[in-house]
Amino acid sequence: MSGRNELWKQMIEDRLQWDMQDTAIEYQQDGLTNQNYIIKNGPDRLALRISGSNADRLGINREAELAAMQAAAAIGVGAEIVYFSTETGHMITKVIEGRKWSDADAGTAVNMKRIADTLRKVHEMPAIPFEFSPYRDIEDRIRYCGLHQLGLPGDLDKLLDKLAAIEEARAAEGLLHGALCHNDPFPNNFLDDGNVRLIDWEYAGMGDILFDLACVCASYSPAQKESFLTHYFGQCDAATLHSLEQMSYVVTFWNAMWAVLQTHTLKPVEAGVSAEPPADYRQMADWMFARLRETL
């Protein structure tokens, strides 16, 4: 039995007091950082996460994640926690029986309003003592990638100049750590069970709400962006649109560096489990850097 299977066994038997012979385990193909499973025993159905080994390298703070998840569960936005280890990152939650969204789902007029309503609830949650900074994450990832010669773009300094200008502008307005944010609300992290729920709180922390909004708008057309901002703020003006575009640059940069890191640390395929081939992270990073250059 592999080491990962031993973790299943320990968590299922010790934490849940379930008999392994009566437990069904279903591997989930969509995890990029962790190994995710649905486990079933009689009428009970839970989600189990085995944390990836590169969580620290990706800037994931498990204590911040736990605090945010507890707050989100309390208002009905996140999953109820059954077990969470801040030391290992392993976790068990109740399953949200909802449908995962595509970009198209997140872009309908009805769902844009529902997302805006949900994110306002998130941003109004009580503060937690953990901050999220995409700027520091990007710097940390650049240092690591440079150390391991992972292939940074030749015009990195020029790209960083614009990033620094955006951070300075947001800091001048006191907007860097204004609210509790999810910081990864892309369509695949929404579940629809009649209400709009959010999963995957690994990057949660006190941050800039425009980062959340820019994540949501990543696949939107200009008209959809205006509509979404109107749903969230009650209006949409040129200044807010400009801020959204600036923050979209930060989101793209943050994801580009995440993709570069993944070229060095690909998730191992679980022994005995058929998994999808890893994404072409280098191609993903190159595409995102090209998008950044278009805005210079």
**CATH code of the domain in which 27 resides:** 3.90.1200.10
**Counted domains in the chain:** 1
- Which residues make Cβ contacts (< 8 Å) with residue 271, sequence separation at least 6? 2, 4, 5
Q: Average pLDDT, stretch 80-106?
A: 96
- Per-residue pLDDT, 6: 77
Q: Average pLDDT, stretch 3-15?
A: 79
pLDDT digits (tens, 9 = 90+) for 249-276: 999 999 999 999 988 855 443 333 333 4
Dihedral of alpha carbons 163, 294, 101, 267, sign: negative
Q: Average pLDDT, stretch 229-251?
A: 96
Going by the DSSP 8-state scheme, the letter that residue 272 receives in this structure is: T
Q: Average pLDDT, stretch 208-233?
A: 97
pLDDT digits (tens, 9 = 90+) for 159-178: 999 999 999 999 988 777 88
pTM above the 0.85 mark?
yes
Reported as a pLDDT band with limits 50, 70 and 90, residue 57 is confident
Helix, coil or strand: residue 88: coil
In which domain, by residue range, is 166 found? 3-294
User: Closest Cα to residue 116, out of 254, 2, 224, 256?
Assistant: 224
Put the strands of the sheet holding 91-94 in their side by side order.
24-28, 35-41, 44-50, 91-94, 81-84
Report the relative pairing of strands 99-100 and 190-192 from DSSP bridges: antiparallel
Half-sphere exposure of 99 (CA within 13 A, CB side): 7
- Per-residue pLDDT, 231: 98
What whole-number distance in Å separates Cα of residue 119 and Cα of residue 77?
A: 9
- Per the CB < 8 A criterion, the answer to whether 127 and 177 are in contact is no
